[in-house]
A and B are shown apart, each in its own frame.
Chain A
Amino acid sequence: MDGNNRETAAPEIRGGEHPETRELIQVERLTKKFDKLTVLDDISVSFREHEVVSVIGPSGGGKSTFLRCLNLLEKPTSGRILVDGVNICEKDADINRHRQKMGMVFQQFNLFNNMNVMRNMTAAPVKIKKMPREEAEARAEQLLRRVGLLEKASSYPSSLSGGQKQRIAIVRALMMDPEVMLFDEPTSALDPEMIGEVLDVMKALAGTGMTMIVVTHEMRFAQEVSTRTLFLDGGRVEEDKPSRELFSNPESPRLISFLNKVL
């Protein structure tokens, strides 16, 4: 479809539903430094439509920074990030427009504390996309029903559990109809008994064909749900393979020792 012929760009697609998909995000020579500390060191990687990619690695390896660079919550020190072929690092790039196409889910949920659940979900589409309020609310109700939280529509975030907050944070991001969803350790701040409910929502989302990039410590999610896994360590992509292969046949010594520790 797009004539790409790099060897790495042939991820296994679940069930073979999407044999040919276009490249959505291309990261070229991305480097991020905080003062003298190099957090991301010359990373080049690309993501295709409908892929579900897990990003794993030890703490401080640059996983979150990498994800945050993709929607410019962190400004790359150098390198290019092409989304639909447009370099979003250019000075005149429309960052706000770009971010509308990229949903983001945070470790700390970050629901707006001053708004109830319904307003949390409808604020962006109504204000930014000028969607009529009734339409936005109908869509929000539909999404809330899907994650089993319709009865919480008028609750404030402070009265919700962590798992509920995170499920709502996910559907809030979906309200903008993003092309890709970024997850920054979505289950790390949750009590163990709530992790399952959030992972279920993410699995269901993956099943709809949503493109997802997930920074995670949940190795089972990486293994079972994601089509491809990146191992990030020391600011570099140490290994980048279809998930099954990466877990069953790790190559780099660092990945082997990492997997020994976490599995």
Chain B
Amino acid sequence: MFFSNVWSTLEKYYPFFLEGVQNTLIIAVFTVLFGTILGVLMATARLSSFRPLKWLATAYIEFFRGTPLMVQLMFIFYGLPMIGVTFPDVPFIENFQRFAAGIVALSLNSCAYVAEVIRSGIQAVDIGQMEAARSLGFTKGQSMTMVILPQAIRNILPALGNEFVTVIKESSIVSVIGIADLMYRTNGVKAKNYRTLECLFIAAVIYFILTFVSGRLISWSERRLNRGRK
């Protein structure tokens, strides 16, 4: 009974779910892209020996990790326009304003977590490696790029992969500002056929497939990266 209802729901509404998956992936990919780029910059600032910069970065990271993503999203989409800060509408991309707000909020949030992942990955490298490099006459920057980062990257990549999986799940929150992601489309179908349990079941399975597959892909690429290294 239940599974035949699931099946008939899928049969009738699969284009909605597919569109939802597509938008969820678009948002996740852009979030991870911007989140990583910003996160690298933020981690650099956080590890900087220039105090004000370090302090600012620390405050940013603490704040974004210490407040709910929902509040951050609402703040950017509903709050900022109140003081005249809006995202432009782009005619040839539907709903660009909403997408932009969603991606910006998620990226700013993800950036804080990525920065912490990078910082702890770098600090996990034995301090003696840096001292040995400096004692040979390398500058701080050369020591970083030649000795520390190549070792840190192995600590960082697995955690960064987890972050991507987390973003796929967390991105479901953008449905509240009307972005047609998987969660939003699920709610839409639910409102049409009143099969709440079946629709949520479908959504859960699809989210699981997305996270499971990307998790496998990430560990596969890690293994490839480590190949040939002792």
What is A's interface to B at a CB cutoff of 8 Å?
71, 73, 96-97, 99-100, 102-104, 106, 108, 110-115, 123-124, 127-128, 156, 158-159, 169, 172-173, 176
Q: Are B151 and A114 in contact (CB under 8 A)?
A: yes
Known: A113-B151, A127-B142, A158-B230. A99 touches B129 (CB 8 A): no
Docked pose: A123 CA to B133 CA in angstroms? 10
Docked pose: A113 CA to B146 CA in angstroms? 11
Indicate with 1 or 0, residue by residue over B39-56, a CB within 8 angstroms of chain A CB atoms.
000000000000000000
Q: Inside 8 A of B150's CB, which chain A residues have their CB?
A: 114
Docked pose: A96 CA to B146 CA in angstroms? 16
Q: Are B138 and A106 in contact (CB under 8 A)?
A: no
Docked pose: A92 CA to B136 CA in angstroms? 19
Closest 5 CB pairs of A and B: A100-B137, A110-B132, A104-B135, A110-B128, A124-B136
Considering only residues 128-154 of chain B, those with a C-beta below 8 Å from chain A are 128-129, 131-139, 142, 146-147, 150-151
Q: Are A127 and B138 in contact (CB under 8 A)?
A: yes
Q: Inside 8 A of B146's CB, which chain A residues have their CB?
A: 112, 123, 127
Q: Which of B137, B151, B230 contacts A99 (CB 8 A)?
A: B137
Docked pose: A112 CA to B129 CA in angstroms? 6
Q: Are A99 and B128 in contact (CB under 8 A)?
A: no
Q: Inside 8 A of A156's CB, which chain B residues have their CB?
A: 229-230
Q: Inside 8 A of B131's CB, which chain A residues have their CB?
A: 73, 106, 110
Docked pose: A156 CA to B229 CA in angstroms? 9
Q: Which of A113, A169, A176 contacts B129 (CB 8 A)?
A: A113
Q: How large is the interface on B (under 10, 10 to 19, 20 to 34, 35 or more residues)?
A: 10 to 19
Q: Inside 8 A of A111's CB, which chain B residues have their CB?
A: 132
Q: Are B128 and A108 in contact (CB under 8 A)?
A: yes
Q: Are B138 and A124 in contact (CB under 8 A)?
A: yes
Q: Are B136 and A100 in contact (CB under 8 A)?
A: yes
Told that A104-B132, A108-B128 touch, could you supply 15 new A-B pairs with CB distance under 8 A? A73-B131, A96-B138, A100-B137, A103-B135, A110-B126, A110-B131, A112-B132, A112-B146, A113-B129, A123-B136, A127-B138, A156-B230, A169-B132, A173-B135, A173-B136
Q: Inside 8 A of A102's CB, which chain B residues have their CB?
A: 135
Q: Inside 8 A of A106's CB, which chain B residues have their CB?
A: 128, 131-132, 135
Known: A73-B131, A123-B146. A128 touches B151 (CB 8 A): no
B181 to chain A, nearest CB (A): 40
B139 nearest CB neighbor, chain A only: A96
List 10 interface pairs A-B (beta carbons < 8 Å), by A numbering.
Answer: A99-B136, A106-B128, A106-B132, A108-B126, A112-B133, A114-B147, A127-B142, A128-B142, A159-B230, A173-B135
A127 to chain B, nearest CB (A): 7
B222 to chain A, nearest CB (A): 16
B184 to chain A, nearest CB (A): 45
Q: Which of A104, A113, A128 contacts B138 (CB 8 A)?
A: A128
